[in-house]
Amino acid sequence: MSTSIIGKLEALHPLPDKDKKLLHAVVGRGRTLKSGEDIVSEGDHTDIVHVIIEGHGYRYKTLADGKRQIIGYLVPGDFCDLYGFLLDKMDHGMAARTQCQIAELTEEHILMLTSRPALARALWWSELVNAAILREWLVNMGRRSPSARVAHILCELLVRLQVVGQATADGFKLELSQAELGDTVGLTTVSVNRALQRLRGSKLIVQAGREITIPDVAALKRFAAFDPSYLHFRQDREDRP
């Protein structure tokens, strides 16, 4: 059950077998959440650290007028709220987009994990990456054209899902509606629809229902000005001269 979590952390920092065994023991089978359920609601306190074992989710904030902004995607292997137990109240909500299997760890578990140097470094990395993704999304939303914004999100999902074995070399299942994509990149559903149409029209993506295929991954990355270095995966760090 801990495969995705080990996959994600090892993509950031190598882990000795002993650390993987500890992680496996701590993660357990997890709890099942139905699609649409909150993992943690905005404003709630949580003593539990949630980790996605299976399924997809997102972080979000809701405005007073009911509009929603999605501020992060949660994919298998992601820690939702690593140090959330420090906060009196969560400053944003997290919801299951699909049915999810969620590991629930305690502060004691986290102390146990972070007392091991490799695991501590891997967890630090994962928090650095969360912040880096947020910075990249800010730039994406503020400074890219609608079709490049959507393309950038697709490139990021491809890479993030690949490290946990949920995407092939050139495709994945997009677990998001057009409205959710719009709430992610600050566009209306109409604009997202046209952006996807443009990407399909220029053969940058092929879409069959929720299945996204990217015939020329380098071309889509170029179009979106996507540089995976902000995800800090070892593979990209080590490929660099």
Partner 1 sequence: MEFKHVKVATGSADEEGRLVFHEEKLIAVLVRLDDAGHGAVVGQWSLEAGFNGVDSTKPPLFANLEAAERWIGKQLSDFIAL
Interacting residues toward partner 1 by CB under 8 A: 67, 182, 186, 188, 190, 193-194, 197-198
- CA distance to 33, 36, 111, 134, 143, per residue, from 99 (Å): 6, 8, 29, 24, 33
Alpha-carbon 201 to chain mean position:
27
Measured from the CB atom, the residue of 24 and 194 that comes closer to partner 1 is 194
Measured from the CB atom, the residue of 175 and 183 that comes closer to partner 1 is 183
Smallest separation, CB 68 to partner 1 (Å)? 9
Q: What whole-number distance in Å separates Cα of residue 31 and Cα of residue 12? A: 26
Q: To 10 degrees, what angle do helices 178-185 and 117-143 make?
A: 90
Measured from the CB atom, the residue of 56 and 198 that comes closer to partner 1 is 198
Measured from the CB atom, the residue of 25 and 190 that comes closer to partner 1 is 190
Smallest separation, CB 210 to partner 1 (Å)? 15
Measured from the CB atom, the residue of 202 and 229 that comes closer to partner 1 is 202
- In total, the chain counts a number of residues equal to 241
Smallest separation, CB 183 to partner 1 (Å)? 8
Q: Is 87 left (phi over 0), alpha (psi -120 to 50) or beta?
A: beta
Smallest separation, CB 125 to partner 1 (Å)? 34
- CA distance to 64, 81, 130, 201, per residue, from 42 (Å): 13, 12, 18, 39
SS3 15: coil
SS3 128: helix
Measured from the CB atom, the residue of 99 and 193 that comes closer to partner 1 is 193
Smallest separation, CB 92 to partner 1 (Å)? 18
Measured from the CB atom, the residue of 121 and 194 that comes closer to partner 1 is 194
Where does residue 42 rank: exposed (0-12), middle (13-18), buried (19+ CB within 10 A)?
A: middle
Angle at 176 (CA atoms; ends 5, 210), nearest 5 degrees: 100
Q: What whole-number distance in Å separates Cα of residue 44 and Cα of residue 47? A: 10
